[in-house]
Amino acid sequence: MAETLLAAEGLTKRFGGVFANRDVSFTVGRGEIVGLIGPNGAGKTTLFNLVTGFIRPDAGSVRFAGEEVTGMRPDRLCHRGVARTFQILKPFPRLTAEENVMIGALTRSGGLAHARAVARRCLALVGLEHKQNVLARGLSTGQRKRLEMARALATGPQLLLLDEITGGVDQPSIPGLIELVARLRDEGVTLLVIEHNMRVIMGLADRVVFLHLGEKLAEGTPQEIASHPEVVALYLGRRDGH
């Protein structure tokens, strides 16, 4: 495996008496696409929030590019090269697509003109260049997902965390989004991806981490995960799957 870019060690988060994540450890190597899968309520988004600094873990640590970043604020993490999208999309609704992406570029370098150029390039990369002057709230769900990716890319990330690539998107848009993620990897971005659609993740990820009830149940190549007895049992709903 390549150089380790992200290393999560023993991450634990409790909400009241419930473990949202319990002792979860995994690594992401530079240049990889790692899939994070699991049933609803498995703790995938909580894990994202722990890694990106939106919530602080009760125990465990996060290292990014060799440095300890546990509990670091999201904006500081962003400056180090970690960007994310949100499962429940969070565009700036009353800004245009271009302005949305400019925000990401502006935190990296001052000038408006430069930010506009970066925004145009990122919008073109995700295929939204024709929407640059449309208010974000006027975009479709699929377009808003692309917009969030463009916005995150404008910060020049080393690691991009995508929370649900295809969730809530109409069927015909899915292949384009998958292709986009693959293209981002070719651009040199490392990706950690939450995805519900097994077929999508199997075709995309180098490795897959499987979460269930907050704990890491399995990790491996897509093929290994697909044939993992507990994963099969959970996804096919069999209780005697061993």
List of residues contacting another protein (CB under 8 A): 52, 54, 73-75, 78-79, 83-84, 86, 90-95, 99, 102-104, 106-108, 110-112, 115, 148, 151-152, 154-155
Least distance CB 142 / another protein (angstroms): 18
The nearer residue to another protein, 126 or 200, going by C-beta atoms, is 126
- Amino acid sitting at position 70: T
Planar angle of CA 195, 8, 215, nearest 5 degrees: 60
Of 119, 88, 89, give the one whose Cα is nearest residue 103. 119
- Amino acid sitting at position 233: A
The nearer residue to another protein, 30 or 80, going by C-beta atoms, is 80
Backbone angles phi, psi at 8, to 5 degrees: -100, 135
Q: How far is it, in rounded angstroms, from Cα 105 to Cα 115?
A: 5
Q: How far is it, in rounded angstroms, from Cα 200 to Cα 162?
A: 13
Least distance CB 189 / another protein (angstroms): 15
Cβ-proximal residues to 119 (8 Å cutoff; 6+ apart), any chain? 98, 99, 101, 102, 104, 105, 132, 150, 154
The nearer residue to another protein, 69 or 152, going by C-beta atoms, is 152
The nearer residue to another protein, 84 or 131, going by C-beta atoms, is 84
Least distance CB 145 / another protein (angstroms): 13
Least distance CB 172 / another protein (angstroms): 27
The nearer residue to another protein, 47 or 83, going by C-beta atoms, is 83
The nearer residue to another protein, 148 or 195, going by C-beta atoms, is 148
Least distance CB 140 / another protein (angstroms): 18
Least distance CB 111 / another protein (angstroms): 8
